[in-house]
């Protein structure tokens, strides 16, 4: 067993899924990333899909421009031990930018845990999360039961990005990260002993 692989901090990729102009997602992502960075198990990187331009039309032989965009995110996903997707709910689903990211990659997701932080109107983005669980099952991931969701998200934060009532969301973020760390350690240690048969 490679002891370096199983003892170094877990590499966590926090994916900001929305690339919509005027989005609120960076507020939620910054809040959650702060929790992740403070967690003893994780070394955290944010992947902001507003900075990546992946087409929805897939190709087995992408051109230079697409390869350049893939180079921005592919290595981060490949190196990650775990993922947290921060997603809004658009029309009862998740953003096309996130679906493009998922579909352009495959082995990068395999045998790793994925957790969700969602936001939106009355549903708090949970309808998007339930659809994502099905999509990520096809990527051979383990999705985490615990979630953090913000209903009426615009009223949950102050103008400077501070939560108005942090007690419940902070506790939910801690539970999510603790559960994610358990799965990430377990899967990383298992793969160090036996490669995933994906």
β-strands 82-88, 42-48 pairing:
unpaired
Q: Do residues 85 and 132 make contact, with C-beta atoms less than 8 angstroms apart?
A: yes
| pLDDT, tens digit (0-9, with 9 covering 90-100), for 102-161 | 999 999 999 999 999 999 999 999 999 999 999 999 999 999 999 999 999 999 999 899
Instruction: Note whether residue 62 is domain-resident.
Output: yes
Instruction: Note whether residue 198 is domain-resident.
Output: no
| pLDDT, tens digit (0-9, with 9 covering 90-100), for 164-192 | 999 999 999 999 999 999 999 999 999 99
Instruction: Note whether residue 31 is domain-resident.
Output: yes
Instruction: Note whether residue 18 is domain-resident.
Output: yes
Q: How many domains does the chain have?
A: 1
| pLDDT, tens digit (0-9, with 9 covering 90-100), for 1-60 | 555 667 899 999 999 999 999 899 999 999 999 999 999 999 999 999 999 999 999 999
CATH code of the domain in which 102 resides: 3.40.50.360
Instruction: Note whether residue 118 is domain-resident.
Output: yes
The predicted pLDDT at position 198 comes to 79
Instruction: Note whether residue 150 is domain-resident.
Output: yes
| pLDDT, tens digit (0-9, with 9 covering 90-100), for 84-108 | 999 999 999 999 999 999 999 999 9
The predicted pLDDT at position 7 comes to 82
Q: What's the domain range around 55?
A: 3-193
Q: Give the 3-state secondary structure of residue 117.
A: strand
């Amino acid at each position: 067993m490679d002891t370096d692989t199983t003892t170094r901090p877990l590499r966590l990729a926090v994916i900001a899924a929305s690339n919509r102009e005027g989005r609120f997602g960076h507020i939620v992502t910054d809040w959650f990333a702060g929790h992740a960075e403070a967690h003893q198990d994780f070394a955290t990187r944010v992947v902001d899909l507003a900075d990546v331009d992946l087409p929805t039309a897939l190709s087995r032989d992408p051109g230079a421009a697409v390869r350049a965009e893939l180079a921005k995110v592919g290595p981060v996903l490949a190196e990650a031990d775990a993922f947290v997707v921060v997603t809004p709910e658009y029309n009862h689903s998740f953003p096309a930018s996130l679906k493009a990211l998922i579909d352009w990659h495959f082995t990068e997701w395999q045998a790793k845990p994925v957790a969700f932080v969602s936001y939106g109107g009355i549903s708090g983005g949970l309808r998007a999360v339930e659809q994502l669980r099905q999509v990520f099952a096809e990527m051979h991931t383990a999705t985490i039961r615990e979630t953090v969701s913000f209903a009426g998200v615009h009223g949950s934060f102050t103008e400077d990005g501070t939560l108005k009532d942090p007690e419940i969301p902070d506790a939910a973020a801690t539970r999510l990260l603790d559960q994610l760390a358990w799965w990430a350690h377990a899967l990383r240690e298992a793969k160090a002993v036996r490669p995933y048969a994906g």
